[in-house]
Amino acid sequence: MFAILHNLAYGLLMLMFGQGFWGETGDEPVFFILAIIICPLAFLVGSIGSLVVSGKQKKKVKK
């Protein structure tokens, strides 16, 4: 799934900004930051949100 998202983002940016957009560095720094910072934070937020929602649903069932 991540390979597909990577290729879609790469293709979209190539269409928007042209072939010389990335220069020599390529897109690796962008996806490195996504993988190291953004994805774990999103996972943490989603996990906490799931726990909160399931806790609220259990309280409703007990009433």
| Residue bearing the bigger pLDDT, 18 or 44 | 44
Q: What is the domain extent for residue 54? A: 31-63
Distance CA 36, CA 7 (A): 18
CA-nearest of 40, 24, 31, 22 to 4 is 31
Domain count, the chain: 1
Distance CA 41, CA 25 (A): 25
Per-residue pLDDT tens over the stretch 30-50: 778 877 888 889 999 999 999
Residue 12 domain-assigned (yes or no): no
Residue 47 domain-assigned (yes or no): yes
Residue 21 domain-assigned (yes or no): no
